[in-house]
Chains A and B, each alone.
Chain A
Amino acid sequence: MTEVKTAAIPTVQHASAPAIPLTQRLPQTKGWKELVRDIWDDNPTFRMILAMCPTMGATNMAINGMAQGLATLIATVASSVTVAALRNIIPSEVRLPSYMIIIAFWVTIVDIFLRAYLPPLSAALGPYVPLIITNCFVLGRAEAFASQNSPGLSALDALGVGLGFTMSLTLLGIVRELLGFGSLFGIQIFSGWTPWVVMIIPAGAFLLVGLYVGIVKHFSPGGQIGGGA
């Protein structure tokens, strides 16, 4: 599905024409299209059903979902740029171990910085930050995109996936926190709320992900013909 969609994007010749203002020119550029495609059409959580482990584990509160998404975003962008920069140096036989080392490196950097400078968030996310290393879409972007494209374009591609992931996790976190705690980003919204404990535990995430996948499939064009992920 991914390949088909990528191929469908036409190469835009007039992208650098000076007469067209940036607001009209920008949506025509290849990078912008990559970005939008990754956020919505190939949304890692609701379309590709990738990276389910942090999706279930780190979204019981909106702030946790958002932090997990942003940590993954930073790690994905950094790894993709590194892989793209080294794409002509790394022999294809050892590309996967090389990508894994690069990804593990960046994720560990993110983890160390969270522990040093944002200890409350680091403690709330627990093992899910180091587990970003095993997120399939981080390696997926490196293998499918960054290994064949320039660092700039790879950064946009990774940014799109990261933003799509952050958006999905934050959405899940918002609903789970509202129903599970009656609060939003730690601020109490419903007073005297009886918490739905099922929303706090991973079972609630399973229910919600199923619901979201259904909604996304229903409203996006690809969904009706049984396409999408």
Chain B
Amino acid sequence: MTEQAKTPPKKKKLMGAHEWRMIIVLTVIAAVAGGLLAAVNEVTKATIEANAKARLRSSILVAVGLYKAEELFPAEGLPKLSAAQVDQYFKEHIEEVKADSFTYWKIYKDKVGGELMAYVIRIAGSGFQGLVAMQVALKPDLSEIIGAHVVPFEIGETPGLGFRMTEEQFWSQFAGMKTGPRIEFIKFRDPDSPKAPNQFDAITGATYTSTTVRDLLNKTIASLRKIVQKEQK
């Protein structure tokens, strides 16, 4: 009570010049920042999308075995094919098909609609802490893997562990693997001891990553098999 008595009630406007200034300054700053960001985003959007597309397409060419990984994903210098050349090849030889839950590519020997050389699928999902993704080329009857490729810098797994799926030693072992009855992985294999044709070597210390790769492969190949069987009927 005494506190209130000491300070006489002031007649003050709710919104004085100072309050208006606060609102206006903050609004203007937010609007200018938002507007500029939208503009920058608009300018760079095409480049970002083109980068991702070129990476995926180059990776598909590596998986099919048309180019070596170091030719299209060089550690330094420029890739052997420009993005435009990759696009040209895609136009002439490759048909992109969007299924319900995934996209696959039909690779033709000479021209689109001619003799089928391979199917390519992209498997992608969450691994231990980030994205696990791989492009896999399969024979037209889906019985055998022709080759695979992993785009190094899109993988979000632990460096030194799950990230080792980006090493050629990992993805190159899929070439020649049988897909039936289902793909499995093998742990702690002695380098000299044999492995079954449907097995790949897991990454030491990254069982989660290997499991993700195995499950995504089996699931996506099964889905593709259904589509292909329907087409052939």
A residues with CB within 8 A of B: 60-61, 86, 89-91, 93-94, 97-98, 101-102, 104-105, 108-109, 112-113, 115-117, 119-120, 123-124, 126, 180-181, 186, 195, 197, 200-201
The smallest beta-carbon distance between A116 and chain B, in angstroms, is 4
Q: Are A200 and B158 in contact (CB under 8 A)?
A: yes
Give the contacting residue for A197; candidates B29, B75, B156, B160; CB below 8 A. Answer: B160
Question: How far apart are the CA atoms of A98 and B27 in the complex, in Å?
Answer: 9
Q: Are A94 and B130 in contact (CB under 8 A)?
A: no
Q: Which residue of B lies closest to A99 (CB)?
A: B29
Give the contacting residue for A119; candidates B36, B75, B153; CB below 8 A. Answer: B153
- The reply to whether the CB of B66 lies closer than 8 angstroms to some CB of chain A is no
Give the contacting residue for B26; candidates A94, A120, A126, A180; CB below 8 A. Answer: A94
Question: How far apart are the CA atoms of A116 and B51 in the complex, in Å?
Answer: 8
The smallest beta-carbon distance between A121 and chain B, in angstroms, is 8
Q: Are A94 and B158 in contact (CB under 8 A)?
A: no
Q: Which residue of A lies closest to B44 (CB)?
A: A116
Known A-B contacts A94-B25, A109-B37; A126 and B156 likewise in contact (beta carbons under 8 Å): yes
Contact mask B143-165 → A, CB, 8 Å, 1/0? 00000000011101011110000
Question: How far apart are the CA atoms of A112 and B48 in the complex, in Å?
Answer: 9
Best-surrounded residue of A61, A117, A119, A201 (most CB of chain B within 10 A): A119
Q: Are A60 and B25 in contact (CB under 8 A)?
A: no
Best-surrounded residue of B26, B130, B205 (most CB of chain A within 10 A): B26
B residues with CB within 8 A of A: 18, 21-22, 25-26, 29-30, 33, 36-37, 40-41, 44, 47-48, 51-52, 55, 75, 130, 152-154, 156, 158-161, 205
Known A-B contacts A102-B33, A120-B153, A200-B159; A93 and B22 likewise in contact (beta carbons under 8 Å): yes
Q: Are A180 and B29 in contact (CB under 8 A)?
A: no
Give the contacting residue for A201; candidates B25, B41, B158; CB below 8 A. Answer: B158
Best-surrounded residue of B40, B41, B154, B160 (most CB of chain A within 10 A): B160
A-B contact pairs, 27 of them (CB 8 A): A60-B159, A61-B159, A91-B22, A94-B25, A97-B26, A101-B29, A102-B29, A102-B33, A104-B33, A105-B33, A112-B37, A112-B40, A112-B48, A115-B44, A115-B48, A117-B47, A119-B48, A120-B152, A123-B153, A123-B154, A124-B153, A126-B130, A126-B156, A180-B159, A197-B160, A197-B161, A201-B158
Chain A residues positioned under 8 Å from B29 (CB to CB): 86, 90, 98, 101-102
Q: Are B160 and A91 in contact (CB under 8 A)?
A: no
Give the contacting residue for B160; candidates A102, A115, A200; CB below 8 A. Answer: A200
Chain A residues positioned under 8 Å from B130 (CB to CB): 126
The smallest beta-carbon distance between A137 and chain B, in angstroms, is 21
Question: How far apart are the CA atoms of A108 and B33 in the complex, in Å?
Answer: 10
Given A97-B26, A119-B52: 19 more A-B contacts, CB < 8 Å: A86-B29, A93-B22, A94-B25, A94-B26, A101-B29, A102-B33, A112-B37, A112-B40, A112-B41, A112-B48, A113-B44, A115-B44, A115-B48, A116-B48, A117-B47, A120-B152, A195-B160, A200-B158, A200-B159
